[in-house]
Amino acid sequence: DVMTIHTYIQYTIRNSKGFTLVLMIVLLTVFLSIGMGIVNILLGQVIIIGQAQESFKALYAADIAMERTLYRDRVQNACTTSPNCTTEIIPLLNGACYWVTVNVGPSASCTGPSTRCMVIIGQDICSGAQRFVRRSFNVRY
C-alpha cells in the first residue's frame, strides 16, 4: 500500500514538469501585472505633484502682481492719469511672470460702486514653453 502511494507520487512528479512551467508563467504574469499597476499609480501621483507645484508658482506670481499694482496705484498714483493702466509681461526671478490691467472708471468689466478694477494674470513659465499654467485674480477697489 505504501509502495503504491510512493509509485504514484513518483509518476506524478515525472509527468508534471510541463505543469510546473505553466504555473510559474501564470504566477510571474500576476506579479508583473500587480507591479505595473503600482508603477502606474505612482507615476500618476508624480504628475499630479508636479502640476500642483506649477499651479502654486502661477498663483504666487499673480499674488505678487496684485500686491505690487495695489501699492503702485494707491501709494504712487500710477494709474490715475490713464483710463487703462496696463503692464507688459513682467518676469520674476523664479521663471514665472505676470501682467496686469487696471480699468479706471466705469466700464463693461468694472461695474458697481468700485472705481477701479484690476485683472491680474500669473503664469508659471514665461520662456516660450508650450505647456504652462495660468492663475488670475479679478480685484475691485
C-alpha cell read off for 48: 499630479
Answer whether 99's CB lies under 8 Å from 81's CB: no
Q: What is the mean pLDDT of residues 38-54?
A: 88
Q: What are the tens digits of pLDDT across the range 63-82? A: 999 998 888 888 887 776 56
What residue spans of 16-124 are helical by DSSP H?
A: 17-74
Q: pLDDT at position 2, please?
A: 59
Q: How far apart are CA 134 and CA 121, in angstroms?
A: 7
Compare 46 and 129 and report the one with higher pLDDT: 46
| pLDDT classification of 123: cutoffs 50, 70, 90 | very high
Percent of the chain with pLDDT strictly greater than 90 = 26
CA distances from 124 to 71, 78, 97, 136 (A): 23, 26, 7, 12
DSSP label at residue 116: E
| pLDDT classification of 130: cutoffs 50, 70, 90 | confident
- Residue (of 43, 49, 57) closest to 132 by Cα position: 57
pLDDT for residue 3 is more than 80 = no
